[in-house]
A and B are shown apart, each in its own frame.
Chain A
């Protein structure tokens, strides 16, 4: 594995019965890169991501994340990555504070570190006033930003975000991407899926998945050039013809 790569994937495949959800995909993501993982609904983005983070076993192929084999060393992979699921998955009945404490604790952070982290996150997201209210009462945008912060409570090298901005308003999306940039500047790698093509423009490189295969992979500029398009929207539509 190239030392400069955070993720390397070779022929990664996932089948559910006869159905091939992810069909022999191969790519590399460099350290510190913001990598956009695009594709239509059902293209296989979530399935591919779950194999990378050790939630799902590849049917075929191999992959390395943070230098560890995704199949044989899944538990080591988990120490070095953060994951924000497409489905909101904080504890609704716990407060933001309790959620931070719980996930911090499960990742093995010290008591002091948890306190520090809690203060940091609440301040950054301006959640001090609702710190002791159950998460269920928060607006979706706030919940998503909290989930993002908590997915990085243990300071992972690589962060996987599965549609982090799904369903939130443009203002929160803007805030979200500002945070993503900050995180990338700290040297972390971001692997993000999205359906918003304006967000695709913010990525260093994007891949576009069509029915389980990666059909295109490059920087947004090069892709626009190659497909003779003005926006990523057009590139996407040209590739993903239903």
Chain B
């Protein structure tokens, strides 16, 4: 135990003496939070829409009014010609064409179910999908306003519009669809994992490069002492990073903190131990810092692409969903989103805990086991 204390003490002295590390721990997460939360945002603000009003009725005009009153939509044109509107879409000047057929109002009052047609420009899928979702809401609220039992029924030419149900149910805990709220906790988790993996792997390999590790290997130090002596300091760095990131997210984006922070930090500790174990494992197989970085990035990239930050895990193919189980980052993101945005308690994130603990044990045991004092 005493040996461990000296190892940790030495590591902290080196960390605080390293001029590059402290800014990296504070500035980097804040910058990345701001940039990524905004840039990687799915927020749809400016959906360009052409209204083809063949009906020229009271209903179609109030629909036009409602749409132009909504600040997510820009009404590019109200046209009478389907072809002219379609031409605009082909030139990518418009995201959605909403076409009201002639005799729409008459059929409606006759008790039939007339249909409005929505043409969605799938080139800009994000814009179109989310936009058509909003549009559906507007139409639904209009039809509710026209106090009738039979509501407007509409069909769309692409199946995307039916995604409406899924989209809104995914976001029920973020009803205003504030994407920074959704992104920030994920990016926070990603940053903490990435930085700690890379830092820990590099640190050990650096000792190998300068030769100090040889001096340590010639002492009677135990393998687990060495690994733990690296793990604890970097765990602290990771926790500082998470704290800085959380405070920044709160101050900059005012993200909601609905659940227990203690739970978030409790989970963060386990997750960091897990990714640090991986970082140290990598370091045992790398002779140079370049090698370590390469291998670390190999894992980090896979983790990031399959962590649910950009693509929801639910919409991945089944095999890819299973592939997220050994991905500590996916669990971290899931936990921060659930606890912070939804206010989930321990029971809701028990699987994330269980998977991460198993991974943490695996990685760290492997790290101790593969650390060779003797070549």
Q: CB of B317 within 8 A of chain A?
A: no
- Cβ-defined partner of B374 (8 Å) among A57, A93, A107: A57
Contact at A83–B218, with CB atoms within 8 Å?
yes
- A78 CA to B216 CA in the complex, in Å? 10
Residues 165-217 of A contacting B (Cβ, < 8 Å): none
For A20, the chain B residues whose CB sits under 8 A away are none
Q: CB of A218 within 8 A of chain B?
A: no
Contact at B220–A94, with CB atoms within 8 Å?
no
- A101 CA to B10 CA in the complex, in Å? 9
Q: CB of A120 within 8 A of chain B?
A: no
Q: Which residues of B contact A (CB under 8 A)?
A: 2-3, 5-7, 9-10, 13-14, 17-18, 210-212, 214-221, 373-375
Contact at B219–A89, with CB atoms within 8 Å?
no
- A85 CA to B9 CA in the complex, in Å? 24
For B9, the chain A residues whose CB sits under 8 A away are 102, 105
Contact at A103–B14, with CB atoms within 8 Å?
no
Which residue of chain B lies nearest to A106 when distances are taken between CB atoms in the complex?
A: B219
Residues 2-54 of A contacting B (Cβ, < 8 Å): 50, 53-54
Q: CB of A155 within 8 A of chain B?
A: no
Q: Which residues of A contact B (CB under 8 A)?
A: 50, 53-57, 74-75, 78-79, 81, 83, 85, 87-94, 98, 101-108, 134
- A75 CA to B375 CA in the complex, in Å? 14
- Cβ-defined partner of B218 (8 Å) among A57, A81, A90, A134: A81
For A87, the chain B residues whose CB sits under 8 A away are 210-211, 214
Q: Known: A55-B217, A55-B374, A91-B14. Contact between A105 and B210, CB under 8 A?
A: no
Q: Known: A56-B375, A87-B211. Contact between A78 and B218, CB under 8 A?
A: yes
Q: Known: A56-B374, A56-B375, A78-B220. Contact between A90 and B212, CB under 8 A?
A: yes
- Cβ-defined partner of A101 (8 Å) among B6, B18, B212, B217: B6
Which residue of chain B lies nearest to A151 when distances are taken between CB atoms in the complex?
A: B215
Q: Apart from A93-B17, A98-B13, A107-B219, what 13 extra A-B contacts exist at CB < 8 Å?
A: A54-B218, A56-B374, A74-B374, A75-B220, A85-B215, A87-B214, A93-B14, A94-B13, A102-B6, A105-B3, A105-B5, A105-B7, A106-B6
Contact at B220–A107, with CB atoms within 8 Å?
yes
For A91, the chain B residues whose CB sits under 8 A away are 10, 14, 212
Which residue of chain B lies nearest to A134 when distances are taken between CB atoms in the complex?
A: B17
For A106, the chain B residues whose CB sits under 8 A away are 3, 6-7, 216, 219, 221
Contact at B374–A54, with CB atoms within 8 Å?
yes
- Cβ-defined partner of A79 (8 Å) among B7, B216, B220, B373: B220
Which residue of chain B lies nearest to A111 when distances are taken between CB atoms in the complex?
A: B2
